Amino acid sequence: MTENTDVEIRHIYERWHETILSRDLDGLMALYAEDAILETPLILATQKNRTEGILKGKTEIRRFFEAGLRKLPNDLGRWYRTGTFFSNGRQLTWEYPRITPQGDQVDLVEIMDIANGFITHHRVYWGWVSFKALIGPRLSKLRP
């Protein structure tokens, strides 16, 4: 992986969040490399034909975000973050914490590998509030 400048890293950090909030699909996809990989359990929850939570290439990732941006409103989807992120020039990480000034939200950690100013591998890790929101009614079936 190549080192990215602080400016490139901050650009990805700021623009990814901005494009999600404004539902700017083209702007969002401009951040991803052509052969990018996205990994999230949300893929399994929303695409029943999938057996793994991995999408490969901009075309698959675009379809996923296109569908997601149409359904974005959610009581727990406040998209609050603290403004803190971590990067070593190759990887970018930040959190959408559970606790926000407006109450709980889905808690996620975003980890992105960045090369030449583009996202090459994006992983989303879900906390317990997110997990409950993801599996919803199925949770009661798991309990004895």
| Domain boundaries, position 56 | 6-136
Note the pLDDT of residue 46: 83
> Does residue 79 have a pLDDT over 80?
yes
pLDDT tens per residue across span 17-38 = 999 989 999 999 999 999 999 9
Overall domain count for the chain = 1
Query: CA 96, 80, 119, 7 torsion: positive or negative?
Result: negative
Q: What is the pTM of this model?
A: 0.89
Whole-angstrom Cα distance, residue 95 to residue 79?
Answer: 10
Pick the closest to residue 110 from 13, 3, 21, 32 (CA basis). 13
Q: How many CA atoms lie within 13 A of 55 on its CB side?
A: 24
Residues 127, 110, 79, 139, Cα dihedral to 10°: -30
For residue 143, being part of any structural domain is answered with: no
Pick the closest to residue 12 from 28, 34, 25, 23 (CA basis). 28
CATH number at residue 46: 3.10.450.50
For residue 21, being part of any structural domain is answered with: yes
For residue 141, being part of any structural domain is answered with: no
pLDDT tens per residue across span 81-105 = 999 999 999 999 999 999 999 888 8
